Amino acid sequence: MKNKVVPTIKLYDYLLVPIQIELDDNTVERLQMQILHEIHENDVRGIIIDVSMVDVIDSYISFVLSETAGMAKAMGCHTVLCGIQPQVALTLAQMGIRLKDIITARSLEDAIDILGELD
């Protein structure tokens, strides 16, 4: 896929999506399309979205990430979100945001272990 929003890494049967940029509405929508395209192209069984470098996840971004996980689930993939910063977790909790269809993990290593257990 041309013009990737973020570089991705295929690791085993998983797609690692390390987000190291600021997310806004347009960027997260483009990322969603990129992830769905790469699921199809790479025949992956799991997605790990690493947000350890992301300082802000607002309600719309969390909605799009949840929506992406639901779409990935329909394509046969589990989605794990890892590395949520404490301030992001606090904000999401205070806003009452629930991440649907997404499993959370503290670290990349934990995310890989979780996906391994789900297979």
Q: Is residue 46 part of a domain?
A: yes
Q: Is residue 1 part of a domain?
A: no
Q: Is residue 107 part of a domain?
A: yes
| CATH number of the domain bearing residue 85 | 3.30.750.24
Residue range of the domain that includes 90: 9-14+22-118
Q: Is residue 88 part of a domain?
A: yes
Q: Which of 80, 78, 75 is nearest to 36 (CA)?
A: 75
pTM of structure: 0.93
Q: Is residue 99 part of a domain?
A: yes
Tally of domains in the chain: 1
**pLDDT tens digit sequence for 35-61:** 999 999 998 999 999 999 999 999 999
Q: Which of 31, 30, 24 is nearest to 47 (CA)?
A: 31
Q: Is residue 63 part of a domain?
A: yes
The pLDDT of 70-80, averaged and rounded, is 96
Q: Is residue 3 part of a domain?
A: no
Report how far residue 46's alpha carbon sits from residue 119's, in angstroms, rounded to the nearest whole number: 9
Instruction: Write the single-letter amino acid at 25.
Output: D
**pLDDT tens digit sequence for 86-108:** 999 999 999 898 888 899 999 99
Q: Is residue 4 part of a domain?
A: no
- Taking a C-beta distance cutoff of 8 angstroms, is the pair 3, 18 a contact? no
